[in-house]
Amino acid sequence: MKIDFFGLFSVEILYAVLALFGLAAAAILLAVIAICKTASIKKKYNEFMKGENGKTIEKLVKENLDEIGNLKTVSGQNEKAIKDIYEKLQFTFQKIGIEKYDAFHEMGGKLSFALCMLDKQDNGYVINVMHSNTGCFAYIKEIIGGNSYIELGDEEKKALEQALAGPMGDVNLSRRVNEIISNDEAAVTEEKDV
């Protein structure tokens, strides 16, 4: 037996029934997939909405946004403070050299000393303290760019060389490293200004 579709074409009833069953099975399969996806979304939604109601989520989002705003403010303050500290460090004594010696060869110990203190630019002072039986004498000489315009004694020169050498132990190497660092910092400053 055949079914006629408006005179356009005809199909066996068996094929039509099989096609309808196939469509029904596909519809049922799609419905099951939709139900599973809906259940998964509902589970995620319930986890997300833990709490009394949607206002709990709104409150949580608002608190997080407030915390982010506070972190940005604190970060800006910290950046300014670090910049201020860095600028102050440029003028603090960062390099130190000390040479102990027996000034008058009568004290029986190395109680005299020359102390050199320099900043990052190799500016600072050499302090020479000499002990004797009759008293203590202190002298100070200014150092500019790693040089003194007043003649230095042997111990003062050794203290200056120690300070210039820094932790590297080599005066020339230390000066080259300081020049490279200064040039790099100047380049970074120029980039920030641009």
**19-40: pLDDT as tens digits:** 889 999 999 999 999 999 999 9
At 72 the pLDDT is 92
| pLDDT confidence of residue 108 | 61
pLDDT for 138 equals 92
The two beta strands, 136-144 and 147-148, are antiparallel
pLDDT value for 60: 76
What pLDDT score does 55 carry?
59
Kindly give the parts of the chain with pLDDT less than 50: none
Q: Where are the domains positioned within the chain?
A: 2-43, 54-88, 95-193
Q: What is the pLDDT of residue 189?
A: 66
Say if CB 114 and CB 158 are below 8 A apart: yes
By CB atoms closer than 10 A (0-12, 13-18, 19+), residue 122 is buried
